[in-house]
């Protein structure tokens, strides 16, 4: 591009005027004017993905008022914007959408990466499977504003830096889209970990020498014994029974056993209804049920007059390494009583019936479990991933999940 972002006509004018005395100066002046106008009329896109977005909004509101710098009304469409502030964490699923938004913005366009998440993945990159290690892996970034989160003043400074950059654009220094960062990142944390281990080793040997010297100098020294502090004993507080109709755990369990004699309490198989009360009023009924009775039992607890478990609170899974547990938490709004139903699934056959026919709200809970654990729900109306891209390798909440290409463990 000749004159940054200017039309072909302007380029031709430059070619004609350059030949005449003073022509170059004239073209330079026009370029300066165009760049000055562009720098002072930035149109940002409405784009914020996490906490940094709050600071960005503060930068745009009355106290800081980025309009003072010509950064005017944030645009709701990329076609009217020439600045995108990456304010917040960028996750894998957002990646493609961010690139689309950037592509739809007319050139010349600029990007500010605001906060550690947008710069390098921030605190969330580690121990997670979905965070991208910085916006510059997807689109070219012009200015980086460090912080977690950066204050609005820091963003304003970043904007001023960007304006400075834009003001210098012209034929001699054209708008340069540059390359997206594709190089593998330097794993500074692993390096730091190795450094730290070497230093600790060095420290240990220094300490050993010092200890030996101390023993020579003080042969009779005996380390004082630490005194055990006597713990204060507090009185037991009386536990309050649950509100509601005062339906007891033992009544619930008895009603269940009556219909399904082969169920038992989780990790307490010897407990019977009469002894459930020994577990105390705060105990949350946690019932283990066989897989083949799962659907029938969920239906039963919902419809039975005594139980009336009418609200699904959550459906999730646990990976116990040798098997999975499907965990359903239900609430009876009538009795104000909560209970867990738990069903064990074999690792090599992670599938179970859907309960969407009984609780419609289970629809996205089951999709989440499918996405993160790889457990399928037979008969589910829409069994697809909900958070991650379809080509995401594996299921990240499984204990055996490993993606060596991107998951980096914290060195501490
Ligand atoms: S950099 Fe800090 S404040 Fe900003 S989005 Fe990330 S965690 Fe939130």
Q: What is the pLDDT of residue 243?
A: 56
Check if 48 has its Cβ closer than 6 Å to any atom of ligand 1. no
Do 350 and 397 form a contact (C-beta atoms < 8 A)? no
Residue of the CA atom closest to atom 3 of ligand 1: 149
Q: What single-letter DSSP state applies at residue 302?
A: H
For the chain, the C-alpha Rg in angstroms (whole number) is 32
Main-chain phi, psi angles of 212, to 5 degrees: -65, -45
Mutation pick for ligand 1 pocket among 53, 120, 122, 133 (CB with most ligand atoms within 8 Å): 122
Q: CB under 8 Å to 394, separation ≥6 — which residues?
A: 374, 401, 402, 403
Are 73 and 41 contacting, i.e. CB atoms less than 8 angstroms apart?
no
Q: Could you give the domains of the chain?
A: 8-167 (3.40.50.12280), 249-378 (3.30.460.80)
Ligand 1 atom having least distance to the Cα of 115: 1
Closest ligand 1 atom to residue 124 Cα is: 7
Answer for the pair 323, 347: CB distance below 8 angstroms, yes or no: yes
Q: Ligand 1: does its nearest atom lie under 6 Å from the Cβ of 52?
A: yes
Euclidean distance between CA atoms 74 and 140, whole angstroms:
20
Residue minimizing CA distance to atom 5 of ligand 1:
88
pTM, 2 dp: 0.60
User: Tell me, what's the pLDDT at 67?
Assistant: 93
The response to whether residue 150 sits with its C-beta less than 6 Å from ligand 1 reads no
The DSSP code for 299 is H
Q: From the CB of 115, is ligand 1 less than 6 Å away?
A: yes
Closest C-alpha to ligand 1, atom 6: 117
Please give the pLDDT value at position 295.
Answer: 95
CA 390 / ligand 1 centre spacing (Å): 27
Cβ contact 352:324 at 8 Å: no
Whether 117 is in the pocket of ligand 1, judged by its Cβ within 6 Å, is yes
Report whether residue 51 contacts ligand 1, using a CB cutoff of 6 Å: yes
The helix/strand/coil state of 45 is strand
Say how far residue 247 (Cα) sits from the centre of its chain. 40
* Cα 368 to middle of ligand 1, angstroms: 25
The one-character DSSP state at 341 is E
Distance between Cα 154 and ligand 1 center (Å): 14
Atom of ligand 1 nearest to the CA of 52: 4
Tens-binned pLDDT, residue by residue, of the chain (412 aa): 434 444 555 667 777 777 778 778 888 888 889 999 999 999 999 999 999 999 999 999 999 999 999 998 889 999 999 999 999 999 888 888 899 999 999 989 999 999 999 998 888 877 677 888 889 889 999 999 999 999 999 999 999 999 999 998 887 788 877 778 765 555 556 677 788 888 889 989 999 999 999 999 999 998 888 888 888 888 888 876 655 566 788 888 888 888 988 888 888 777 777 777 777 777 888 999 999 999 999 999 999 988 899 999 999 999 998 999 999 999 998 888 889 999 999 998 899 999 999 999 999 999 999 999 999 999 999 999 998 888 777 888 888 887 655 555 544 4
Place of tokens 């507080």: 237
Contact 370, 390 (CB under 8 A): no
* pLDDT confidence of residue 186: 52
Residue 357 CA to its chain's centroid (Å)? 31
* Cβ 88 under 6 angstroms from ligand 1: yes
Pick the atom of ligand 1 nearest to 50's CA.
5
- Taken in order 304, 308, 311, 316, the sign of the CA dihedral is negative
What's the gap in Å between 58 CA and the centre of ligand 1? Answer: 15
**378 CA distance to ligand 1 middle (Å):** 39
Q: What is the distance in A from the centroid of ligand 1 to the CA of 125?
A: 11
Cβ atoms within 10 A of the Cβ of 104, count?
Answer: 13
Residue 74 Cα, ligand 1 centroid: separation in angstroms? 21
Tell me which residue has its CA closest to atom 2 in ligand 1. Answer: 148
Given this model, what pLDDT does residue 182 score?
Answer: 66
Nearest CA to ligand 1 atom 8: 51
Q: Compute, in angstroms, the gap from residue 130 CA to the centroid of ligand 1.
A: 15
């Amino acid at each position: 591009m000749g004159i940054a972002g200017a039309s072909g006509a302007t380029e031709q004018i430059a070619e004609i005027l350059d030949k005449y005395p003073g022509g170059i100066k004239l073209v330079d002046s026009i370029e300066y004017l165009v760049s000055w106008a562009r720098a002072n009329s930035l149109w940002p896109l409405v784009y914020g993905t996490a906490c940094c977005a709050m600071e960005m909004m503060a930068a745009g509101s009355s106290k800081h008022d980025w309009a003072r710098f010509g950064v005017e009304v944030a645009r709701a469409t990329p076609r009217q914007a020439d600045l995108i502030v990456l304010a917040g964490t960028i996750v894998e699923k957002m990646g493609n959408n961010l690139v689309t938004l950037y592509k739809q913005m007319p050139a010349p366009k600029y990007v500010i990466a605001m906060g550690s998440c947008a710069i390098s993945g921030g605190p969330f990159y580690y121990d997670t499977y979905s965070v991208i290690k910085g916006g510059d892996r997807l689109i070219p970034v012009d200015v980086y504003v460090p912080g977690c989160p950066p204050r609005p003043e820091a963003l304003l400074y970043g904007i001023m830096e960007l304006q400075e950059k834009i003001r210098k654009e012209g034929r001699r220094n054209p708008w340069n889209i540059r390359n997206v960062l594709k190089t593998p990142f330097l794993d500074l944390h692993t390096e730091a970990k190795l450094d730290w281990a070497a230093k600790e080793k060095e420290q240990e040997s220094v300490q050993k020498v010092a200890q030996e010297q101390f023993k020579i100098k003080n042969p009779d020294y005996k380390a004082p014994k630490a005194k055990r502090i006597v713990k204060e004993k507090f009185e037991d507080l009386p536990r309050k029974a649950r509100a509601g109709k005062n339906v007891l755990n033992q009544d619930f369990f008895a009603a269940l056993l009556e219909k399904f004699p082969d169920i038992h309490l989780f990790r307490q198989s010897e407990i019977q209804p009469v002894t459930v009360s020994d577990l105390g009023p705060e105990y949350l009924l946690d019932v283990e049920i066989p897989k083949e009775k799962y659907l029938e039992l969920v239906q039963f607890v919902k419809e039975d007059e005594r139980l009336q478990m009418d609200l699904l609170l959550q459906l999730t899974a646990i990976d116990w390494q040798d098997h999975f547990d499907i965990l359903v938490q239900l609430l009876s709004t009538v009795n104000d009583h909560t209970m867990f139903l738990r069903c064990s699934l074999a690792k090599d056959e992670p599938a179970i019936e859907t309960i969407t026919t009984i609780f419609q709200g289970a629809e996205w809970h089951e999709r989440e479990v499918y996405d993160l654990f790889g457990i399928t729900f037979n008969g589910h109306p829409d069994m697809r991933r909900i958070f991650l891209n379809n080509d995401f390798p594996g299921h990240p909440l499984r204990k055996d999940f490993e993606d060596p290409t991107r998951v980096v463990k914290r060195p501490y």
